Chains A and B, each alone.
Chain A
Protein backbone atom coordinates (compact mmCIF):
# COMPACT_ATOMS: atom_id res chain seq x y z
CA UNK A 1 0.00 0.00 0.00
CA UNK A 2 2.67 2.51 0.97
CA UNK A 3 4.79 1.79 -2.12
CA UNK A 4 1.69 2.46 -4.17
CA UNK A 5 1.24 5.82 -2.50
CA UNK A 6 4.95 6.47 -2.88
CA UNK A 7 4.73 5.67 -6.58
CA UNK A 8 1.78 7.97 -6.98
CA UNK A 9 3.59 10.75 -5.19
CA UNK A 10 6.65 10.30 -7.34
CA UNK A 11 4.62 10.38 -10.54
CA UNK A 12 2.94 13.50 -9.32
CA UNK A 13 6.27 15.10 -8.50
CA UNK A 14 7.68 14.35 -11.95
CA UNK A 15 4.48 15.66 -13.48
CA UNK A 16 4.72 18.83 -11.41
CA UNK A 17 8.31 19.48 -12.40
CA UNK A 18 7.74 18.86 -16.11
CA UNK A 19 4.56 20.92 -16.40
CA UNK A 20 5.78 23.83 -14.34
CA UNK A 21 9.13 23.92 -16.14
CA UNK A 22 7.56 23.95 -19.59
CA UNK A 23 4.87 26.48 -18.81
CA UNK A 24 7.28 28.48 -16.69
CA UNK A 25 9.64 28.73 -19.66
CA UNK A 26 6.83 29.99 -21.86
CA UNK A 27 6.00 32.62 -19.26
CA UNK A 28 9.53 33.72 -18.42
CA UNK A 29 11.08 33.92 -21.90
CA UNK A 30 9.13 36.99 -23.09
CA UNK A 31 9.91 38.79 -19.83
CA UNK A 32 13.60 38.04 -20.12
CA UNK A 33 13.63 38.98 -23.80
CA UNK A 34 11.92 42.28 -22.96
CA UNK A 35 14.67 43.09 -20.57
CA UNK A 36 17.35 42.25 -23.12
CA UNK A 37 15.53 44.31 -25.72
CA UNK A 38 15.32 47.32 -23.46
CA UNK A 39 19.10 47.36 -22.93
CA UNK A 40 20.16 46.32 -26.41
CA UNK A 41 22.75 48.52 -28.07
CA UNK A 42 23.74 46.59 -31.22
CA UNK A 43 23.80 48.80 -34.27
CA UNK A 44 22.24 51.74 -32.48
CA UNK A 45 23.90 54.88 -31.30
CA UNK A 46 22.58 54.81 -27.77
CA UNK A 47 23.66 54.07 -24.24
CA UNK A 48 22.76 50.81 -22.55
CA UNK A 49 20.33 52.23 -20.01
CA UNK A 50 18.85 54.98 -22.17
CA UNK A 51 15.57 53.16 -22.49
CA UNK A 52 15.22 52.98 -18.71
CA UNK A 53 16.44 56.51 -18.16
CA UNK A 54 13.69 57.72 -20.44
CA UNK A 55 11.18 56.68 -17.77
CA UNK A 56 12.33 59.60 -15.67
CA UNK A 57 13.49 61.91 -18.45
CA UNK A 58 11.03 61.65 -21.28
CA UNK A 59 8.41 64.34 -20.54
CA UNK A 60 5.63 62.36 -22.15
CA UNK A 61 6.30 59.25 -20.04
CA UNK A 62 6.86 61.25 -16.88
CA UNK A 63 3.62 63.15 -17.31
CA UNK A 64 1.70 59.98 -18.07
CA UNK A 65 3.10 58.19 -15.02
CA UNK A 66 1.93 61.07 -12.86
CA UNK A 67 -1.51 61.01 -14.46
CA UNK A 68 -1.87 57.26 -13.91
CA UNK A 69 -0.76 57.44 -10.29
CA UNK A 70 -3.14 60.30 -9.57
CA UNK A 71 -5.95 58.38 -11.23
CA UNK A 72 -5.10 55.34 -9.12
CA UNK A 73 -5.36 57.34 -5.89
CA UNK A 74 -8.61 59.01 -6.90
CA UNK A 75 -10.13 55.71 -8.02
CA UNK A 76 -9.26 53.99 -4.74
CA UNK A 77 -10.72 56.85 -2.73
CA UNK A 78 -13.86 56.99 -4.87
CA UNK A 79 -14.29 53.24 -4.74
CA UNK A 80 -14.10 53.16 -0.95
CA UNK A 81 -16.49 56.09 -0.59
CA UNK A 82 -18.96 54.47 -2.95
CA UNK A 83 -18.73 50.84 -1.90
CA UNK A 84 -18.02 50.73 1.81
CA UNK A 85 -21.03 52.69 3.13
CA UNK A 86 -23.26 50.88 0.64
CA UNK A 87 -22.06 47.45 1.66
CA UNK A 88 -22.31 48.26 5.36
CA UNK A 89 -25.82 49.57 4.79
CA UNK A 90 -26.89 46.39 3.01
CA UNK A 91 -25.69 44.36 5.95
CA UNK A 92 -27.25 46.56 8.60
CA UNK A 93 -30.51 47.85 7.23
CA UNK A 94 -31.44 46.40 3.86
CA UNK A 95 -30.31 42.77 3.69
CA UNK A 96 -32.89 42.15 0.97
CA UNK A 97 -30.86 44.42 -1.33
CA UNK A 98 -27.63 42.55 -0.86
CA UNK A 99 -28.10 40.17 -3.79
CA UNK A 100 -29.02 43.11 -6.02
CA UNK A 101 -25.94 45.09 -5.06
CA UNK A 102 -23.78 42.01 -5.61
CA UNK A 103 -25.28 41.41 -9.03
CA UNK A 104 -24.77 45.03 -10.03
CA UNK A 105 -21.19 45.02 -8.83
CA UNK A 106 -20.40 41.94 -10.89
CA UNK A 107 -22.05 43.34 -14.02
CA UNK A 108 -18.95 45.17 -15.30
CA UNK A 109 -17.38 41.75 -15.79
CA UNK A 110 -19.97 40.99 -18.42
CA UNK A 111 -19.97 44.31 -20.23
CA UNK A 112 -16.71 44.69 -22.16
CA UNK A 113 -14.86 47.93 -21.52
CA UNK A 114 -14.88 48.78 -25.18
CA UNK A 115 -18.66 48.58 -25.24
CA UNK A 116 -18.88 51.01 -22.33
CA UNK A 117 -16.51 53.41 -24.03
CA UNK A 118 -18.64 53.49 -27.16
CA UNK A 119 -21.69 54.51 -25.13
CA UNK A 120 -20.12 56.78 -22.54
CA UNK A 121 -19.21 59.77 -24.73
CA UNK A 122 -22.04 62.05 -23.69
CA UNK A 123 -21.87 61.07 -20.03
CA UNK A 124 -18.20 62.05 -20.04
CA UNK A 125 -19.12 65.35 -21.63
CA UNK A 126 -21.47 66.06 -18.72
CA UNK A 127 -18.71 65.18 -16.29
CA UNK A 128 -16.43 67.61 -18.11
CA UNK A 129 -19.11 70.26 -18.05
CA UNK A 130 -20.15 69.92 -14.43
CA UNK A 131 -17.12 68.65 -12.59
CA UNK A 132 -13.75 68.65 -14.29
CA UNK A 133 -12.07 68.39 -17.63
CA UNK A 134 -8.82 66.59 -18.05
CA UNK A 135 -7.69 63.02 -17.43
CA UNK A 136 -8.99 62.93 -13.84
CA UNK A 137 -12.49 62.61 -15.24
CA UNK A 138 -11.50 59.04 -16.10
CA UNK A 139 -11.91 58.29 -12.38
CA UNK A 140 -15.64 57.87 -12.84
CA UNK A 141 -15.56 55.05 -15.40
CA UNK A 142 -12.56 53.54 -13.62
CA UNK A 143 -14.56 53.12 -10.42
CA UNK A 144 -17.04 51.07 -12.44
CA UNK A 145 -14.23 48.95 -13.88
CA UNK A 146 -12.81 48.07 -10.44
CA UNK A 147 -16.22 47.38 -8.87
CA UNK A 148 -16.26 43.59 -9.32
CA UNK A 149 -12.81 42.99 -7.88
CA UNK A 150 -13.13 45.47 -5.03
CA UNK A 151 -16.61 44.27 -4.13
CA UNK A 152 -15.33 40.72 -3.73
CA UNK A 153 -12.40 41.85 -1.61
CA UNK A 154 -14.53 44.05 0.66
CA UNK A 155 -17.24 41.42 0.86
CA UNK A 156 -14.74 38.83 2.06
CA UNK A 157 -13.52 41.24 4.71
CA UNK A 158 -16.95 42.33 5.89
CA UNK A 159 -18.02 38.70 6.16
CA UNK A 160 -15.40 38.05 8.81
CA UNK A 161 -16.88 40.54 11.25
CA UNK A 162 -20.40 40.86 12.57
CA UNK A 163 -21.37 44.13 11.03
CA UNK A 164 -24.94 44.44 12.35
CA UNK A 165 -23.91 43.78 15.95
CA UNK A 166 -20.90 46.07 15.86
CA UNK A 167 -22.82 48.92 14.32
CA UNK A 168 -25.83 48.51 16.59
CA UNK A 169 -23.54 48.50 19.59
CA UNK A 170 -21.78 51.64 18.41
CA UNK A 171 -25.07 53.37 17.56
CA UNK A 172 -26.53 52.56 20.94
CA UNK A 173 -23.50 54.24 22.49
CA UNK A 174 -24.34 57.36 20.53
CA UNK A 175 -22.02 57.07 17.53
CA UNK A 176 -23.00 58.67 14.24
CA UNK A 177 -22.93 56.60 11.04
CA UNK A 178 -19.74 58.37 10.04
CA UNK A 179 -18.09 57.22 13.27
CA UNK A 180 -19.43 53.71 12.83
CA UNK A 181 -17.90 53.36 9.42
CA UNK A 182 -14.60 55.10 9.99
CA UNK A 183 -13.83 54.14 13.56
CA UNK A 184 -15.62 50.85 14.08
CA UNK A 185 -15.89 48.99 10.77
CA UNK A 186 -12.88 50.27 8.86
CA UNK A 187 -10.19 49.36 11.41
CA UNK A 188 -11.52 45.80 11.48
CA UNK A 189 -11.28 45.22 7.78
CA UNK A 190 -8.00 46.96 6.95
CA UNK A 191 -6.62 43.96 5.10
CA UNK A 192 -9.71 43.70 2.93
CA UNK A 193 -9.63 47.41 2.18
CA UNK A 194 -5.94 47.16 1.36
CA UNK A 195 -6.66 44.22 -0.95
CA UNK A 196 -9.34 46.18 -2.72
CA UNK A 197 -7.06 49.20 -2.96
CA UNK A 198 -4.18 47.19 -4.39
CA UNK A 199 -6.43 45.55 -6.96
CA UNK A 200 -7.79 48.93 -7.98
CA UNK A 201 -4.30 50.38 -8.35
CA UNK A 202 -3.12 47.46 -10.48
CA UNK A 203 -6.16 47.80 -12.71
CA UNK A 204 -5.89 51.56 -13.13
CA UNK A 205 -2.20 51.41 -13.97
CA UNK A 206 -2.89 48.81 -16.64
CA UNK A 207 -5.96 50.44 -18.13
CA UNK A 208 -5.76 51.36 -21.80
CA UNK A 209 -9.16 51.11 -23.49
CA UNK A 210 -10.91 54.07 -21.88
CA UNK A 211 -7.92 56.37 -21.89
CA UNK A 212 -7.04 55.65 -25.50
CA UNK A 213 -10.52 55.87 -27.00
CA UNK A 214 -11.38 58.99 -24.99
CA UNK A 215 -8.14 60.67 -26.06
CA UNK A 216 -6.44 60.98 -22.68
CA UNK A 217 -2.82 60.14 -22.12
CA UNK A 218 -2.32 57.71 -19.25
CA UNK A 219 0.64 55.40 -18.73
CA UNK A 220 -0.39 52.70 -21.19
CA UNK A 221 -1.36 55.18 -23.90
CA UNK A 222 1.96 56.95 -23.44
CA UNK A 223 3.85 53.67 -23.72
CA UNK A 224 2.14 53.01 -27.04
CA UNK A 225 2.86 56.51 -28.34
CA UNK A 226 6.49 56.51 -27.21
CA UNK A 227 7.00 53.18 -29.03
CA UNK A 228 6.69 55.08 -32.30
CA UNK A 229 9.90 56.98 -31.65
CA UNK A 230 11.72 55.05 -28.93
CA UNK A 231 11.00 51.33 -28.91
CA UNK A 232 13.44 50.54 -26.09
CA UNK A 233 11.93 53.10 -23.77
CA UNK A 234 8.45 51.75 -24.32
CA UNK A 235 9.55 48.18 -23.59
CA UNK A 236 11.38 49.40 -20.48
CA UNK A 237 8.24 51.23 -19.38
CA UNK A 238 6.17 48.09 -19.99
CA UNK A 239 8.51 46.00 -17.85
CA UNK A 240 8.54 48.65 -15.14
CA UNK A 241 4.75 48.83 -14.95
CA UNK A 242 4.56 45.05 -14.86
CA UNK A 243 7.17 44.88 -12.10
CA UNK A 244 5.28 47.52 -10.14
CA UNK A 245 2.00 45.63 -10.47
CA UNK A 246 3.81 42.48 -9.43
CA UNK A 247 5.20 44.15 -6.32
CA UNK A 248 1.76 45.46 -5.41
CA UNK A 249 -0.01 42.16 -5.87
CA UNK A 250 2.78 40.28 -4.14
CA UNK A 251 2.43 42.61 -1.17
CA UNK A 252 -1.28 41.90 -1.36
CA UNK A 253 -0.73 38.18 -0.85
CA UNK A 254 1.23 38.97 2.30
CA UNK A 255 -1.50 41.24 3.64
CA UNK A 256 -3.98 38.41 3.34
CA UNK A 257 -1.54 35.96 4.83
CA UNK A 258 -0.81 38.13 7.84
CA UNK A 259 -4.50 38.50 8.54
CA UNK A 260 -4.93 34.76 8.62
CA UNK A 261 -2.09 34.48 11.06
CA UNK A 262 -3.51 37.24 13.23
CA UNK A 263 -6.92 35.67 13.53
CA UNK A 264 -5.73 32.13 14.21
Chain B
Protein backbone atom coordinates (compact mmCIF):
# COMPACT_ATOMS: atom_id res chain seq x y z
CA UNK B 1 0.00 0.00 0.00
CA UNK B 2 2.04 2.89 1.24
CA UNK B 3 5.36 1.47 0.11
CA UNK B 4 4.17 0.02 -3.16
CA UNK B 5 4.32 3.28 -5.08
CA UNK B 6 7.95 4.17 -4.39
CA UNK B 7 8.94 0.56 -5.10
CA UNK B 8 7.17 0.39 -8.42
CA UNK B 9 8.52 3.80 -9.34
CA UNK B 10 12.03 2.59 -8.51
CA UNK B 11 11.57 -0.57 -10.54
CA UNK B 12 10.20 1.38 -13.48
CA UNK B 13 13.10 3.83 -13.35
CA UNK B 14 15.56 0.95 -13.18
CA UNK B 15 13.95 -0.67 -16.20
CA UNK B 16 14.20 2.53 -18.21
CA UNK B 17 17.87 3.00 -17.31
CA UNK B 18 18.66 -0.58 -18.24
CA UNK B 19 16.80 -0.33 -21.52
CA UNK B 20 18.77 2.82 -22.33
CA UNK B 21 22.01 1.05 -21.48
CA UNK B 22 21.16 -1.53 -24.10
CA UNK B 23 20.83 1.10 -26.83
CA UNK B 24 23.32 3.44 -28.44
CA UNK B 25 24.28 6.78 -26.94
CA UNK B 26 24.10 9.97 -29.04
CA UNK B 27 27.04 10.65 -31.31
CA UNK B 28 29.69 13.19 -30.36
CA UNK B 29 31.14 13.79 -33.80
CA UNK B 30 29.58 15.90 -36.48
CA UNK B 31 32.10 14.81 -39.07
CA UNK B 32 30.96 17.08 -41.88
CA UNK B 33 33.43 18.16 -44.47
CA UNK B 34 33.52 19.41 -48.03
CA UNK B 35 32.47 17.06 -50.79
CA UNK B 36 35.36 18.09 -52.93
CA UNK B 37 38.28 20.44 -52.62
CA UNK B 38 37.87 21.30 -56.25
CA UNK B 39 40.77 21.72 -58.59
CA UNK B 40 41.39 25.30 -57.58
CA UNK B 41 44.38 25.98 -55.35
CA UNK B 42 42.27 28.12 -53.03
CA UNK B 43 40.12 25.09 -52.16
CA UNK B 44 43.22 23.03 -51.44
CA UNK B 45 44.76 25.75 -49.25
CA UNK B 46 41.63 25.89 -47.09
CA UNK B 47 41.60 22.11 -46.83
CA UNK B 48 45.26 22.01 -45.81
CA UNK B 49 44.78 24.74 -43.24
CA UNK B 50 41.74 23.03 -41.71
CA UNK B 51 43.43 19.66 -41.73
CA UNK B 52 46.50 21.05 -39.99
CA UNK B 53 44.24 22.49 -37.31
CA UNK B 54 42.85 19.01 -36.69
CA UNK B 55 46.42 17.75 -36.42
CA UNK B 56 45.64 14.03 -36.37
CA UNK B 57 44.45 11.31 -38.70
CA UNK B 58 43.00 8.00 -37.48
CA UNK B 59 43.85 5.24 -39.90
CA UNK B 60 43.35 1.53 -39.41
CA UNK B 61 44.72 -1.79 -40.65
CA UNK B 62 47.60 -0.33 -42.68
CA UNK B 63 50.69 -2.52 -42.22
CA UNK B 64 53.96 -0.75 -42.97
CA UNK B 65 55.02 -3.35 -45.50
CA UNK B 66 51.70 -3.47 -47.36
CA UNK B 67 51.88 -1.42 -50.58
CA UNK B 68 54.67 0.63 -49.01
CA UNK B 69 52.25 2.25 -46.55
CA UNK B 70 55.11 2.84 -44.15
CA UNK B 71 56.70 5.35 -46.52
CA UNK B 72 53.35 6.80 -47.57
CA UNK B 73 52.45 7.57 -43.97
CA UNK B 74 55.86 9.05 -43.19
CA UNK B 75 55.73 11.26 -46.30
CA UNK B 76 52.25 12.53 -45.41
CA UNK B 77 53.25 13.25 -41.82
CA UNK B 78 56.34 15.13 -42.95
CA UNK B 79 54.57 17.13 -45.63
CA UNK B 80 51.67 18.38 -43.54
CA UNK B 81 52.77 17.90 -39.94
CA UNK B 82 49.70 15.76 -39.23
CA UNK B 83 50.21 12.70 -37.00
CA UNK B 84 48.81 9.48 -38.39
CA UNK B 85 47.63 6.88 -35.85
CA UNK B 86 47.29 3.38 -37.27
CA UNK B 87 45.07 1.09 -35.23
CA UNK B 88 45.16 -2.70 -35.59
CA UNK B 89 47.69 -3.00 -38.42
CA UNK B 90 46.84 -6.68 -39.02
CA UNK B 91 43.10 -6.10 -39.17
CA UNK B 92 40.79 -7.21 -41.95
CA UNK B 93 38.49 -4.98 -43.99
CA UNK B 94 35.55 -6.04 -41.84
CA UNK B 95 37.54 -5.18 -38.72
CA UNK B 96 37.83 -1.66 -40.14
CA UNK B 97 34.07 -1.37 -40.61
CA UNK B 98 33.42 -2.90 -37.20
CA UNK B 99 35.75 -0.39 -35.60
CA UNK B 100 33.91 2.47 -37.33
CA UNK B 101 30.68 1.17 -35.85
CA UNK B 102 32.09 0.35 -32.41
CA UNK B 103 33.88 3.65 -31.98
CA UNK B 104 31.32 5.82 -33.74
CA UNK B 105 30.91 9.16 -32.01
CA UNK B 106 34.27 8.91 -30.25
CA UNK B 107 37.50 10.66 -31.13
CA UNK B 108 39.18 7.32 -31.83
CA UNK B 109 36.91 6.36 -34.70
CA UNK B 110 38.77 5.70 -37.94
CA UNK B 111 38.73 8.67 -40.32
CA UNK B 112 39.61 6.68 -43.42
CA UNK B 113 39.49 3.03 -44.38
CA UNK B 114 41.14 0.87 -47.01
CA UNK B 115 38.83 -2.06 -47.67
CA UNK B 116 38.13 -4.87 -50.08
CA UNK B 117 35.47 -4.48 -52.74
CA UNK B 118 32.76 -6.56 -51.07
CA UNK B 119 33.07 -4.69 -47.81
CA UNK B 120 33.15 -1.29 -49.53
CA UNK B 121 30.08 -1.99 -51.62
CA UNK B 122 28.15 -3.32 -48.64
CA UNK B 123 28.84 -0.41 -46.31
CA UNK B 124 28.27 2.64 -48.52
CA UNK B 125 25.98 4.12 -45.89
CA UNK B 126 28.97 4.59 -43.58
CA UNK B 127 30.98 6.64 -46.04
CA UNK B 128 31.05 10.29 -47.01
CA UNK B 129 31.22 11.07 -50.73
CA UNK B 130 34.39 12.82 -51.80
CA UNK B 131 35.98 13.34 -55.20
CA UNK B 132 39.71 14.00 -55.16
CA UNK B 133 41.24 16.58 -57.47
CA UNK B 134 42.45 13.84 -59.82
CA UNK B 135 39.07 12.04 -59.78
CA UNK B 136 38.68 11.97 -63.54
CA UNK B 137 41.90 10.01 -63.92
CA UNK B 138 40.66 7.06 -61.84
CA UNK B 139 39.31 4.42 -64.23
CA UNK B 140 35.50 4.24 -64.18
CA UNK B 141 35.46 0.52 -63.50
CA UNK B 142 37.05 0.87 -60.09
CA UNK B 143 35.21 3.76 -58.49
CA UNK B 144 31.73 4.37 -57.18
CA UNK B 145 30.15 7.10 -59.34
CA UNK B 146 28.99 9.19 -56.41
CA UNK B 147 32.40 9.19 -54.80
CA UNK B 148 31.62 6.99 -51.82
CA UNK B 149 34.59 4.68 -52.43
CA UNK B 150 37.28 4.44 -55.06
CA UNK B 151 39.94 1.91 -56.01
CA UNK B 152 43.38 2.75 -54.70
CA UNK B 153 45.84 0.09 -55.77
CA UNK B 154 45.57 -3.28 -57.38
CA UNK B 155 47.47 -6.41 -58.00
CA UNK B 156 46.98 -9.96 -59.10
CA UNK B 157 47.02 -13.17 -57.13
CA UNK B 158 50.33 -14.97 -57.21
CA UNK B 159 52.39 -17.68 -55.57
CA UNK B 160 55.51 -16.56 -53.76
CA UNK B 161 58.06 -19.22 -52.88
CA UNK B 162 61.56 -19.77 -51.60
CA UNK B 163 63.38 -21.50 -54.44
CA UNK B 164 66.12 -22.65 -52.08
CA UNK B 165 63.57 -24.73 -50.13
CA UNK B 166 61.19 -26.00 -52.80
CA UNK B 167 61.41 -26.83 -56.51
CA UNK B 168 60.40 -24.07 -58.97
CA UNK B 169 56.69 -23.65 -59.52
CA UNK B 170 55.42 -23.55 -63.08
CA UNK B 171 51.72 -24.10 -62.54
CA UNK B 172 49.19 -23.97 -59.74
CA UNK B 173 48.81 -27.76 -59.73
CA UNK B 174 52.53 -28.14 -58.94
CA UNK B 175 51.57 -27.36 -55.36
CA UNK B 176 49.93 -30.75 -55.05
CA UNK B 177 53.24 -32.53 -55.48
CA UNK B 178 54.86 -34.28 -52.48
CA UNK B 179 57.83 -31.91 -52.56
CA UNK B 180 55.58 -29.26 -51.05
CA UNK B 181 54.41 -31.26 -48.06
CA UNK B 182 53.53 -29.02 -45.13
CA UNK B 183 54.75 -25.93 -46.95
CA UNK B 184 51.87 -24.15 -48.68
CA UNK B 185 50.13 -21.31 -46.86
CA UNK B 186 47.19 -19.15 -47.94
CA UNK B 187 47.03 -15.54 -46.85
CA UNK B 188 44.08 -15.69 -44.54
CA UNK B 189 40.93 -17.68 -44.07
CA UNK B 190 38.74 -17.32 -47.19
CA UNK B 191 35.61 -17.00 -45.08
CA UNK B 192 37.20 -14.06 -43.30
CA UNK B 193 39.72 -12.35 -45.53
CA UNK B 194 39.17 -11.14 -49.06
CA UNK B 195 42.81 -11.71 -50.04
CA UNK B 196 42.33 -15.40 -49.22
CA UNK B 197 39.10 -15.45 -51.21
CA UNK B 198 40.95 -14.11 -54.26
CA UNK B 199 43.48 -16.90 -53.67
CA UNK B 200 40.74 -19.50 -53.93
CA UNK B 201 39.43 -17.78 -57.07
CA UNK B 202 42.88 -18.07 -58.61
CA UNK B 203 43.08 -21.81 -57.95
CA UNK B 204 39.56 -22.12 -59.23
CA UNK B 205 40.43 -20.41 -62.52
CA UNK B 206 43.49 -22.63 -62.85
CA UNK B 207 41.30 -25.72 -62.52
CA UNK B 208 38.54 -24.94 -64.94
CA UNK B 209 36.40 -22.72 -62.79
CA UNK B 210 35.33 -19.17 -63.45
CA UNK B 211 34.69 -15.98 -61.51
CA UNK B 212 31.20 -17.30 -60.83
CA UNK B 213 32.29 -20.81 -59.87
CA UNK B 214 34.41 -21.39 -56.80
CA UNK B 215 33.88 -25.14 -56.59
CA UNK B 216 37.09 -26.18 -58.43
CA UNK B 217 39.06 -23.90 -56.13
CA UNK B 218 37.62 -25.49 -53.01
CA UNK B 219 38.27 -28.93 -54.53
CA UNK B 220 41.88 -27.93 -55.13
CA UNK B 221 42.36 -26.98 -51.51
CA UNK B 222 40.72 -30.19 -50.38
CA UNK B 223 43.28 -32.09 -52.40
CA UNK B 224 46.03 -29.87 -51.03
CA UNK B 225 44.94 -30.63 -47.48
CA UNK B 226 44.58 -34.36 -48.18
CA UNK B 227 48.12 -34.43 -49.55
CA UNK B 228 49.32 -32.84 -46.33
CA UNK B 229 50.66 -29.83 -48.21
CA UNK B 230 48.30 -27.18 -46.83
CA UNK B 231 49.61 -25.33 -43.79
CA UNK B 232 46.85 -23.57 -41.84
CA UNK B 233 49.05 -20.65 -40.80
CA UNK B 234 48.64 -17.03 -41.82
CA UNK B 235 51.83 -16.10 -43.65
CA UNK B 236 53.51 -12.85 -42.68
CA UNK B 237 56.89 -11.45 -43.57
CA UNK B 238 58.11 -12.99 -40.29
CA UNK B 239 56.94 -16.50 -41.15
CA UNK B 240 58.29 -16.21 -44.70
CA UNK B 241 61.68 -15.05 -43.54
CA UNK B 242 61.95 -17.67 -40.83
CA UNK B 243 61.14 -20.41 -43.30
CA UNK B 244 57.90 -21.42 -41.63
CA UNK B 245 55.87 -20.72 -44.78
CA UNK B 246 58.12 -21.34 -47.80
CA UNK B 247 55.21 -21.15 -50.26
CA UNK B 248 52.48 -18.52 -50.00
CA UNK B 249 49.42 -17.81 -52.09
CA UNK B 250 49.12 -14.05 -51.80
CA UNK B 251 48.83 -10.75 -53.65
CA UNK B 252 51.78 -10.26 -56.00
CA UNK B 253 52.72 -7.00 -54.30
CA UNK B 254 52.96 -8.70 -50.93
CA UNK B 255 54.88 -11.65 -52.32
CA UNK B 256 57.18 -9.24 -54.17
CA UNK B 257 57.92 -7.53 -50.86
CA UNK B 258 60.19 -10.45 -49.92
CA UNK B 259 62.21 -10.32 -53.15
CA UNK B 260 65.03 -8.33 -51.64
CA UNK B 261 64.87 -9.93 -48.22
CA UNK B 262 65.03 -13.66 -48.89
CA UNK B 263 67.66 -14.88 -51.30
CA UNK B 264 66.03 -17.35 -53.64
CA UNK B 265 62.54 -15.89 -53.22
CA UNK B 266 60.53 -15.91 -56.45
CA UNK B 267 57.05 -14.82 -57.44
CA UNK B 268 55.01 -16.91 -59.85
CA UNK B 269 51.86 -15.55 -61.53
CA UNK B 270 49.90 -18.25 -63.35
CA UNK B 271 49.13 -17.00 -66.84
CA UNK B 272 46.02 -19.17 -67.08
CA UNK B 273 44.58 -17.89 -63.83
CA UNK B 274 44.96 -14.14 -63.71
CA UNK B 275 42.63 -12.70 -61.13
CA UNK B 276 43.10 -9.15 -60.00
CA UNK B 277 41.50 -6.92 -57.47
CA UNK B 278 41.63 -3.40 -56.16
CA UNK B 279 41.29 -2.29 -52.58
CA UNK B 280 39.24 0.82 -52.00
CA UNK B 281 39.62 4.05 -50.06
CA UNK B 282 36.67 5.59 -48.25
CA UNK B 283 36.08 8.38 -45.73
CA UNK B 284 34.06 7.74 -42.57
CA UNK B 285 30.85 9.79 -42.63
CA UNK B 286 31.32 10.56 -38.91
CA UNK B 287 35.06 11.05 -39.07
CA UNK B 288 36.45 12.87 -36.05
CA UNK B 289 38.96 14.62 -38.32
CA UNK B 290 37.06 15.19 -41.59
CA UNK B 291 39.48 17.66 -43.15
CA UNK B 292 42.55 15.55 -42.39
CA UNK B 293 40.70 12.61 -43.94
CA UNK B 294 40.10 14.48 -47.17
CA UNK B 295 43.65 15.82 -47.29
CA UNK B 296 44.87 12.23 -46.89
CA UNK B 297 42.86 11.23 -49.95
CA UNK B 298 44.24 14.13 -51.95
CA UNK B 299 47.74 13.02 -50.97
CA UNK B 300 47.15 9.38 -51.85
CA UNK B 301 45.85 10.23 -55.30
CA UNK B 302 48.48 12.87 -56.04
CA UNK B 303 51.43 11.90 -58.18
CA UNK B 304 53.60 11.68 -55.09
CA UNK B 305 51.24 9.32 -53.27
CA UNK B 306 50.66 7.13 -56.31
CA UNK B 307 54.38 6.78 -56.94
CA UNK B 308 55.04 5.88 -53.32
CA UNK B 309 52.47 3.11 -53.65
CA UNK B 310 54.07 2.06 -56.91
CA UNK B 311 57.26 1.40 -54.97
CA UNK B 312 55.27 -1.14 -52.97
CA UNK B 313 54.90 -3.22 -56.16
CA UNK B 314 51.23 -2.36 -56.61
CA UNK B 315 49.50 -0.93 -59.65
CA UNK B 316 48.13 2.39 -58.41
CA UNK B 317 44.70 3.53 -59.62
CA UNK B 318 45.97 6.36 -61.80
CA UNK B 319 48.75 4.29 -63.34
CA UNK B 320 47.46 4.53 -66.89
CA UNK B 321 46.86 8.27 -66.76
CA UNK B 322 50.21 8.91 -65.12
CA UNK B 323 51.98 6.80 -67.72
CA UNK B 324 50.45 8.90 -70.47
CA UNK B 325 51.35 12.11 -68.71
CA UNK B 326 54.84 10.85 -68.02
CA UNK B 327 54.55 11.54 -64.29
CA UNK B 328 54.86 7.93 -63.28
CA UNK B 329 58.05 6.66 -61.69
CA UNK B 330 59.24 4.78 -64.78
CA UNK B 331 61.91 2.74 -63.03
CA UNK B 332 59.53 1.46 -60.37
CA UNK B 333 56.87 0.82 -62.99
CA UNK B 334 59.26 -1.35 -64.95
CA UNK B 335 60.06 -3.34 -61.82
CA UNK B 336 56.42 -4.33 -61.40
CA UNK B 337 56.04 -8.08 -61.81
CA UNK B 338 55.16 -8.59 -65.44
CA UNK B 339 51.79 -10.15 -66.06
CA UNK B 340 51.11 -11.70 -69.43
CA UNK B 341 47.48 -12.10 -70.40
CA UNK B 342 44.14 -10.54 -69.54
CA UNK B 343 43.42 -10.02 -65.90
CA UNK B 344 39.92 -10.88 -64.74
CA UNK B 345 38.42 -8.64 -62.06
CA UNK B 346 35.50 -10.12 -60.09
CA UNK B 347 32.59 -7.78 -59.44
CA UNK B 348 31.13 -7.23 -56.00
CA UNK B 349 28.20 -9.51 -56.92
CA UNK B 350 30.51 -12.34 -57.98
CA UNK B 351 32.52 -11.94 -54.80
CA UNK B 352 29.33 -12.15 -52.76
CA UNK B 353 28.15 -15.34 -54.43
CA UNK B 354 31.59 -16.82 -54.00
CA UNK B 355 31.68 -15.87 -50.33
CA UNK B 356 28.36 -17.57 -49.67
CA UNK B 357 29.65 -20.71 -51.36
CA UNK B 358 32.81 -20.57 -49.27
CA UNK B 359 30.85 -20.11 -46.07
CA UNK B 360 29.07 -23.37 -46.81
CA UNK B 361 31.95 -25.43 -48.13
CA UNK B 362 35.27 -24.16 -46.79
CA UNK B 363 34.79 -26.23 -43.63
CA UNK B 364 35.18 -29.30 -45.86
CA UNK B 365 38.73 -28.18 -46.53
CA UNK B 366 39.76 -27.44 -42.98
CA UNK B 367 38.15 -30.69 -41.86
CA UNK B 368 35.55 -28.97 -39.70
Question: Which residues does A use to contact B, with CB under 8 Å?
Answer: 43-44, 121-126, 128-130, 133-134, 214-215, 225, 227-231
Contact = CB atoms under 8 A, between A and B. Distances in A.
Interface of B: 20-26, 28, 87-90, 95, 98-99, 102-108, 236-239, 242-243
B243 A43 contact: yes
Given A121-B102, A125-B105, A129-B28, A215 B23 contact: no
A231 to B, nearest CB: 6
A123 B89 contact: no
B237 A214 contact: no
A75 to B, nearest CB: 20
Ranked nearest first, the 10 interchain pairs of A and B with the lowest CB-CB distance are: A129-B25, A228-B236, A126-B25, A133-B106, A125-B25, A229-B238, A128-B106, A215-B99, A123-B21, A122-B24
B108 A134 contact: yes
Contacts of A228: 90, 236, 238
B102 to A, nearest CB: 6
B21 A126 contact: yes
A107 to B, nearest CB: 16
Given A123-B21, A130-B25, A133-B108, A230 B88 contact: no
Contacts of B26: 129
A170 B212 CA distance: 79
B238 A215 contact: no
Nearest to B236: A228
18 contacts: A43-B242, A121-B102, A122-B21, A122-B23, A124-B102, A125-B24, A125-B104, A128-B105, A129-B106, A134-B108, A214-B102, A215-B87, A215-B95, A215-B99, A225-B90, A228-B90, A228-B238, A231-B239
Contacts of A133: 106-108
Nearest to B27: A129
Given A129-B28, A133-B107, A231 B242 contact: yes
Given A225-B89, A229-B236, A123 B22 contact: yes
A229 B234 CA distance: 12
A215 B85 CA distance: 14
Contacts of B238: 227-231
A141 to B, nearest CB: 13
A42 B105 CA distance: 49
A227 B243 CA distance: 15
B233 to A, nearest CB: 11
